[in-house]
A and B are shown apart, each in its own frame.
Chain A
């Protein structure tokens, strides 16, 4: 391909309406487009992630007879499905240039608020709606501190992480709330299945597809990319960047609330200590999937692959009887390795 797809036309007309259609012929264009797609597929980091996951699958199916079983697969997917919803929120927030350490606490907060209301006699659906609203409010408060007061996401969410956890423990006295009287149709959210497929997985897939579409295709979410990529340039393009950051912060917490409710329905209890350390897993998944901590890049698909990778690793380690302590060390190392390899490839691409 030549260096110039747009030049070499020789003629340039003044005035917008005058710009002629002197580009390549449609046939050439489509051939070039096809070639382009292949090239881009190869270059996409998602391709690399899928390859790693497949390799792990193959190795593990030889290493353990239990790995490639329906039960194990189902357990694995169930394990990451709900967390995956939180990862979506985190990815969007990372793209806008923020970060949220409070995801685990806020997820627990949703459970505790809903559970507590339910025990106080509120209808479980209404209680859940209120709980999600409370979480959204928590996100809005963080958004306020970040955009209006001007603090960094890191410190604000760190504080909220501790506060929300404190509230959970305070409200429950540190003991899980048993919610044995939850009506079956509510528990169905977390425990039921449609045909052979657990409802949780369906909810997860729908959320993924919806947000993937929104992020790639809608003007609202495009502004998230602009803001994260260069906040000043975004402001100089008339984008109300503070509003964007406020909204992504709030959305992330709202999704945590949603995830918390699903967990509650699944466990049939509200656990005030749930989700400790979850932020690490969630951020790691998003970053492995290509989100950058400095904002502007990231995809839902990639982040979900990040979650899948981490779950496959966890599940493999458990099946191989690796001690829990070792599991953490290995998981941390994988994060470091994945991000380093990616960084190296990016850099080499830039220099090449």
Chain B
């Protein structure tokens, strides 16, 4: 009667209770490789996931994080290597199969059906497997409301296209939560969330982990990794560099492992008092759009970087678009370098050198199917063409190559479509597009969304250098540390109005949050 059970035979009764925590592997990946043409996205990586742990995955843009997740979710097939779930080798051929194996995946790029209600999106996967002929729409809404309720208060009946990006991201997360999964993959879920929403998400993650669900958490934000995760794995150039308990390692070590060098100053030095100038780059007076913002006044001085903070839906992005005359009809005056601007539409605005980097990269920032070089030149084709309007492809490629090098873009070939790039590198293409016209004023909405630490630091440095050259820089960001670290002054938007401004020592998260949040006292 010899049973082959291992555990009772082990002579370590004391640590037996801890044993499952360290040995109980739910998912194990060995020696997985994946190439796209000549691009080797993964080269023999190993990865394992314990039951009930939150495992952070870090790495530069293009390190192969999303590729590995896509393999686990059956979207991509590995060239070689093995995936073990509960110790059994499996081939995951499709996302449906991954779902059956208990894998839930929140993608880096939002993939919702825009013309369908939130409730139906949330239960897309569930209705997918259901055999019922007629949908119980009321029941669906109620169920969606409960799932969503943990995260936020979005009405389940609204259409997804009417939601802001951050709310769409929340719907995407809710979608994964409805699946009774054992492994939950979150690929940069907080890139599009505000601090508050992110904290709620972390609470839910911990609760799930305590229930024994394992979570793979991808993020470029060290704070999030160190505050919420149990272990961290670092990839670089498609290779596994290290896996450590978060307790045994510091943020600097992770960054070092990711980038291969030490990053000492995350943010470039601010404008010092001696360099201050009274030259106005931008002055906005009484900018009003009847539905979305009212009597907005702000200015930007030479050399300065101005930040815009505010909750989602506060109207930050709308004001920025208003300045550029994008998608709205506004009243009010805008002065650029002292001259009154009278653009009829965004095209005029671009001609005047005023550009806006959209927060919705996939929706309106880039042309996924088009070449990288064609994306970069989209704002002003005149720059890469003869006076008669004949494109010069050598010039176009050169422009993309120059800007790409400056932003540390990682790509196979500049004529490849942007869809072949990793998320962070797509963002760099969007930024390169803005820089291509040598703008006079750039308004950047979440400029470093999805960008890795090293490149983020580089983008900040470039913005600072541009500001020093006299280019107006306005940054909108939901990441308060970024605003505080980068900007000289932060304007806070609340319900379509500028509720206050902070600078210098007053620029703290508490002050900004206080100005941003609606309190009953001020509402009355």
Given contacts A13-B406, A232-B363, 9 further A-B contacts (CB under 8 A): A5-B414, A19-B403, A22-B405, A217-B391, A232-B364, A233-B363, A235-B327, A236-B364, A236-B365
- What does DSSP make chain A's interface, helix, strand, loop or mixed? loop
**Chain B proximity mask over A327-352: 1 for CB below 8 Å, otherwise 0:** 00000000000000000000000011
A1 on the interface (CB 8 Å rule)?
A: yes
* B465 engages A239 (CB within 8 Å): no
* B346–A6 touching, CB < 8 Å: no
Interface set, chain B 24-40, CB cutoff 8 A to A = 36-40
CB distance A6 to B462 under 8 Å? no
Interface residues of B in 404-428 (CB under 8 A from A): 404-415
Is A222 a contact partner of B433 (Cβ separation < 8 A)? no
Any A CB within 8 A of the CB of B46? no
Partner of B40, one of A3, A222, A225, A351: A3
A216 nearest CB neighbor, chain B only:
B391
A95 to chain B, nearest CB (A): 11
The answer to whether A19 and B413 have CB atoms under 8 Å apart is: no
A226–B370 touching, CB < 8 Å: yes
Residues of A within 8 Å of B466, CB to CB, are 15
**B413:A36 contact, CB within 8 angstroms:** yes
Within the complex, what minimum Cβ distance (angstroms) separates B320 from chain A?
A: 12
Q: Is the CB of B364 within 8 A of A15?
A: no
Which chain B residue lies CB-closest to A237?
A: B378
- Please, what's the 1-or-0 string for B359-380, where 1 marks a CB less than 8 Å from any CB in chain A? 0000111111110001000111
20 inter-chain pairs at a CB distance below 8 angstroms, sorted by A residue, are A4-B411, A15-B466, A19-B403, A19-B405, A20-B405, A40-B415, A219-B391, A223-B381, A225-B367, A232-B363, A233-B364, A233-B366, A233-B367, A235-B326, A235-B346, A236-B346, A236-B356, A240-B345, A352-B36, A352-B37
Chain A residues with Cβ under 8 A from B465's Cβ?
A: 14-15
* Residue B350 is within 8 A (CB to CB) of chain A in the complex: yes
A302 to B82 alpha-carbon distance, docked (Å)? 42
Q: Does B76 contact A (CB under 8 A)?
A: yes
The chain A residue sitting closest to B347, CB to CB, is A238
Instruction: Name the residue among B356, B370, B408 with the largest chain A CB count within 10 angstroms.
Output: B370
Verify A218–B412 contact, CB threshold 8 A.
no
- Tally chain A residues at the interface, Cβ within 8 Å: 43
Binding site for B on A (CB under 8 A): 1, 3-7, 9, 12-16, 18-20, 22-23, 36, 40, 216-220, 222-223, 225-226, 229-230, 232-240, 296-297, 351-352
Of all A-B residue pairs in the complex, the 10 with the closest CB atoms, nearest first, are A14-B465, A219-B381, A232-B364, A238-B350, A237-B378, A236-B364, A238-B347, A229-B367, A1-B38, A219-B389
- Chain B interface (Cβ within 8 Å of chain A)? 36-41, 62, 76-77, 237-238, 326-327, 345-347, 349-350, 356, 358, 363-370, 374, 378-382, 385, 389-391, 401-415, 433, 435, 438, 458, 461-462, 464-466, 469
Q: Which residues of B contact A226 (CB under 8 A)?
A: 367, 370, 374, 378
Are A296 and B369 in contact (CB-based, < 8 A)? yes
Point out the residues of chain B lying under 8 angstroms from A40, CB to CB. 415
| Interface pair B364/A235, CB less than 8 Å apart | yes
Minimum CB distance partner of B343 in chain A:
A238
How many angstroms between the C-alpha atoms of A297 and B368 in the bound complex?
12
List of A residues within 8 angstroms of B350 by Cβ: 237-238
Closest-CB distance, B366 to chain A (whole angstroms) = 6
Question: Given A217-B391, A222-B381, are A19 and B374 neighbors across the interface (CB < 8 Å)?
Answer: no
Interface residue from A12, A36, A235, A238 paired with B406 (Cβ < 8 Å): A12
Residues of A within 8 A of B368 (CB): 229-230
Docked pose: A4 CA to B41 CA in angstroms: 11
Q: Identify which of B62, B364, B412 contacts A1 (C-beta below 8 A).
A: B412
Report the bound CA distance from A223 to B382 in whole Å. Answer: 12
Report which residue of A7, A12, A223, A236 has the largest number of chain B beta carbons within 10 angstroms of its beta carbon. Answer: A236
Q: Is the CB of B77 within 8 A of A351?
A: yes
The residue that B374 contacts in the complex, of A18, A225, A351, with Cβ under 8 A, is A225
Q: Which residues of B contact A1 (CB under 8 A)?
A: 38, 412
Contacts of B409 in A (CB 8 A): 6-7
B369 to A229, Cβ gap below 8 A? yes
Query: A238 touching B410 by the CB < 8 A rule?
Result: no
What is the CB-to-nearest-CB distance from A22 to chain B, in angstroms, rounded to a whole number? 7
Min C-beta distance of A296 to chain B, whole Å: 5
Q: Decide if B370 touches A351 in the complex (CB within 8 Å).
A: no
Is the pair B401, A218 in contact by a Cβ cutoff of 8 Å? no
Contact call B39/A3, Cβ cutoff below 8 A: yes
Report chain A residues within 8 Å CB of B37.
352
**B401 adjacent to A6 (CB under 8 Å):** yes
Give B434's nearest chain A residue, CB to CB. A237
Across the two chains, which residue of chain B brings its CB closest to A4?
Answer: B410
Per the bound structure, the CA–CA distance linking A12 and B405 in Å amounts to 7
Contacts of A7 in B (CB 8 A): 408-410
Q: Are A6 and B378 in contact (CB under 8 A)?
A: no
